[in-house]
Amino acid sequence: MINVSILGYGTIGSGVFDILDKNSHIITKRNGEEIHVKSVLDLRDFKGDPVESVLVHDFSEIENDDEVQIVVETMGGLHPAYDFVKACLEKGKSVCTSNKALVAAFGPELLSIAEKKNCNFLFEASVGGGIPIIRPLKTSLAPDEILEISGILNGTTNYILTEMSEKGSDFETVLKDAQDKGYAEKDPSADIEGYDTCRKIAILTSLAYGRQVGFEDIYTEGITKITERDINYAKKLGAKIKIFGSGKKDGDRISAMVAPKLITQEHPLYSVDGVFNAILVKGNMAGDIMFYGQGAGKHATASAVVSDIMEASKHLGINIKTIWEPEKLGLVPFEESISKFFVRLSGTAQDNSAKAGKAFGSLTPVDAGYSDEFAFITEAMTEGTFRKAAEETGNVINKIRIDA
Amino acid sequence: MINVSILGYGTIGSGVFDILDKNSHIITKRNGEEIHVKSVLDLRDFKGDPVESVLVHDFSEIENDDEVQIVVETMGGLHPAYDFVKACLEKGKSVCTSNKALVAAFGPELLSIAEKKNCNFLFEASVGGGIPIIRPLKTSLAPDEILEISGILNGTTNYILTEMSEKGSDFETVLKDAQDKGYAEKDPSADIEGYDTCRKIAILTSLAYGRQVGFEDIYTEGITKITERDINYAKKLGAKIKIFGSGKKDGDRISAMVAPKLITQEHPLYSVDGVFNAILVKGNMAGDIMFYGQGAGKHATASAVVSDIMEASKHLGINIKTIWEPEKLGLVPFEESISKFFVRLSGTAQDNSAKAGKAFGSLTPVDAGYSDEFAFITEAMTEGTFRKAAEETGNVINKIRIDA
């Protein structure tokens, strides 16, 4: 029997508890040994809940329980999650977490402690919820040089963009609706400003290239500036607007970015709508591989945590090597990143077309029936060149990137 | 240093050789130890090819080489592949294979030998080419009861159906073109009759439910009866025709089938076109997860083999448990399988509508402008009921299933 403790009985923590109970027959059979939840840490009481009999309020009870071999961290946030996880690993207990903020900030340090203590630090659930991506990246794609890893990594923003497109509603209306349905937080900034996607792509890019990619170094643009008009232009182009996190090879360097992008029907992620997430990996040998599923949700995310528990339980005393060196990977400076741009200028086509051509070079006009603005798609150019051109015209309403 | 031998220097075998050379730097770093190809078995000579210096013609040289820890089987076919693989496992050498026929026929026996000898029998490349599916199914989805596993598992037939749809060409023309392009074999029956898909879904269903599913017990229907008219009806319905292999829970039982199906835009696999493959897994906790990529091709498939070599090299002397019991899983009898059916009857609507309603029950007519036939979609019914109704009318031109 394997003894597990869960830190935090919130949505994901209670989902883990639930799956280990409901699917216990299957899990024991596949795992070879029963997985038993010995204790659950939470400051709250849960009168009448099945968790009540194993609930503890003091972390040291878990830290000092030598029978506990695997600890699940589903508290979220950096502190005390970091401190608790570190203490468990130092004691040789494996830790499985769904906490992307923790992994993005302290991944290399926690992996290195796990290696020293012959235990494991696993975090499949930190990116893509129920979608298997961390483990396939570490194992199935291990033979490949990763040319690109990019994805729709946040269900809230994908839901909002999908609803705006399908219902023709504006951003504020859809956000309010998403909040009412529980798809968006009361304070939605982590999602809509792209911070959540940023943590996730920082983790994926770090794993793809084996070195720390600081989330604070990734240019991050949210979806708050996307309007109905942008959506209508996208439709005119047979395209959709999706917010992507991406890390990719650019010559000998790596570039990373979080931003809304225009994608057309040929893009493998074109049909990924609503709260679904998907991740595209381009390997130099395996080619394009796409993983799709529920990027959030109690049981989907908890299923990924339980898969880590099962992996940890098969590797007690054996560290699974994960290459994520702490030295920062130098990213391509933002100003040198290359995209095409969809651009909208205020004023008529007549006012703008000569001026725009002079500033942006060769361009393809896009007409969605708005006579008070002039929209077009540029050729591929750097962010620096784009910025200068935008300053030159002085009347950019909005821009959305298109992969070059 | 890990010593590897490759049995068979055909498309996949030479791809493995190639990747271990071209990506050696990345592979050594991620694997911790260098992987060295010590010998390659092939009856042919390859004068001037880099393989020449390690080529052997006699299997016993590899079988009796105690330095060889991992053997790659990329010969295809059942014999001598089975005999060679068995001999290697008996010697405690791990085997990584891309041979779906071998795995579907002898999976449980070979896994059991590997378990006894503390080595591994791995076969990621046997299904879905470069798409990671076997390992995610064994690890990432281990906490889940699998409600369904189904997919577009054959690139040749998917290419043919896509071309028929996009170009409006007939089956024979597109098949000829696919043969000219090397997408289809000279003898295309394994693909177009669904036998290849059948082996693959037998493997996936066996792993999903932990017991042997005999490929010979799976109802298998190919794409040779699909005509331009079927494609045009599909378009009229906003649907596509794809050949699926599927295994799913049906109450307490498991049903499995290979057949062309009509799917609409809401289906996660709707956009999987051309030579691409995709596999959908429905977990009772993780929800719908989709894996998409190149289902065939030299380097994509070889990348999957190399990922197995790396896994085997990290588990020398340690068997990775795979639950696949040899006792056959009793499948739901074909006559009891339930689908809706798209049906075409010869003769006018006037001739047929009363008769069809009487035989098939409630139905929804589909008009694609062909006055000499009457097409419709039935409600969900068993294969047995459908068969009787079809016998009653006596004029079914073709039928295509729709998931109920």
> How is B170-224 classified by DSSP, letter by letter?
-HHHHHHHHHHTTSS-SSTHHHHTSHHHHHHHHHHHHHHHTEE--GGGSEE--ST
Looking at residue A182, its pLDDT comes to: 85
- Please give the C-alpha separations between residue B379 and each of B340, B382, B387, B397, B404, in angstroms, as whole numbers: 5, 10, 14, 19, 8
With a CB cutoff of 8 Å and minimum separation 6, the contacts of A123 are A96, A97, A98, A99, A100, A103, A107, A134, A203, A308
- Domain locations in chain A? 2-129+298-328, 136-294, 334-402
Look at residue B209 and tell me whether its pLDDT is greater than 90: yes
**Which whole number is the average pLDDT over A98-102?**
97
Contacts of B32 in chain A (CB under 8 A): 321
Tens digit of each residue's pLDDT (9 = 90 or more) over A210-240: 999 999 999 999 999 999 999 999 999 999 9
Does the beta-carbon distance from A292 to B210 stay under 8 Å?
no
Instruction: Say how many CA atoms lie within 13 Å of A314 toward its Cβ.
Output: 22
CATH code, residues B336-402: 3.30.70.1150
Look at residue A183 and tell me whether its pLDDT is greater than 90: no
**Which whole number is the average pLDDT over A170-195?**
94
What average pLDDT does chain A have? 97
CATH code, residues B2-129+298-328: 3.40.50.720
Q: CB of B18 within 8 A of CB of B9?
A: no
Q: CB of B44 within 8 A of CB of B10?
A: no
CATH code, residues A136-294: 3.30.360.10
What average pLDDT does chain B have? 97
pLDDT grade for A303, boundaries at 50, 70 and 90: very high
**Which whole number is the average pLDDT over B69-90?**
98
Neighbours of A398 (CB within 10 A): 17
Q: Is B238 exposed, middle or buried (0-12, 13-18, 19+ CB in 10 A)?
A: exposed
Looking at residue A375, its pLDDT comes to: 98
Contacts of A30 in chain B (CB under 8 A): 142, 210, 323
To the nearest whole percent, how much of chain A has pLDDT over 70?
100
Question: Which of A22, A32, A292 faces B321 most closely, judged by CB atoms?
Answer: A32
- Please give the C-alpha separations between residue A289 and each of A63, A147, B293, in angstroms, as whole numbers: 40, 12, 4
Which DSSP string corresponds to B238-288? TEEEEEEEEEEEETTEEEEEEEEEEEETTSTTTT--TTEEEEEEEETTTEE
**Which whole number is the average pLDDT over B312-322?**
96
| Whether A142 contacts chain B with CB within 8 A | yes
Per-residue H/E/C for A234-286: HHHCCEEEEEEEEEEEECCEEEEEEEEEEEECCCCCCCCCCCEEEEEEEECCC
- Please give the C-alpha separations between residue A206 and each of A103, A190, B30, B314, in angstroms, as whole numbers: 11, 21, 14, 22
CATH code, residues A334-402: 3.30.70.1150
The predicted complex's ipTM stands at 0.95
- Tell me which residue of B18, B82, B76, B1 sits closest to B42, measured CA to CA: B76
With a CB cutoff of 8 Å and minimum separation 6, the contacts of B298 are B11, B12, B14, B15, B18
| Whether B297 contacts chain A with CB within 8 A | yes
Give A331's DSSP letter.
B
**pTM of the entire predicted model:** 0.96
Q: Which of residues 148-167 of A touch B (CB under 8 A)?
A: none
Look at residue B27 and tell me whether its pLDDT is greater than 90: yes
To the nearest whole percent, how much of chain A has pLDDT over 90?
97
Pick the CATH number of B143-293 from 3.20.20.70, 3.30.360.10, 3.40.50.300, 2.120.10.10: 3.30.360.10
Number of residue pairs across A and B with CB atoms under 8 Å?
A: 175
Looking at residue A265, its pLDDT comes to: 87
Tens digit of each residue's pLDDT (9 = 90 or more) over B118-155: 999 999 999 999 999 999 999 999 999 999 999 999 99
Q: CB of B63 within 8 A of CB of B39?
A: no
Look at residue A404 and tell me whether its pLDDT is greater than 90: no
Does the beta-carbon distance from A141 to B124 stay under 8 Å?
no
Look at residue B182 and tell me whether its pLDDT is greater than 90: no
| Whether B64 contacts chain A with CB within 8 A | no
To the nearest whole percent, how much of chain B has pLDDT over 70?
100
Tens digit of each residue's pLDDT (9 = 90 or more) over B240-285: 999 999 999 999 999 999 999 999 988 989 999 999 999 999 999 9
pLDDT grade for B48, boundaries at 50, 70 and 90: very high
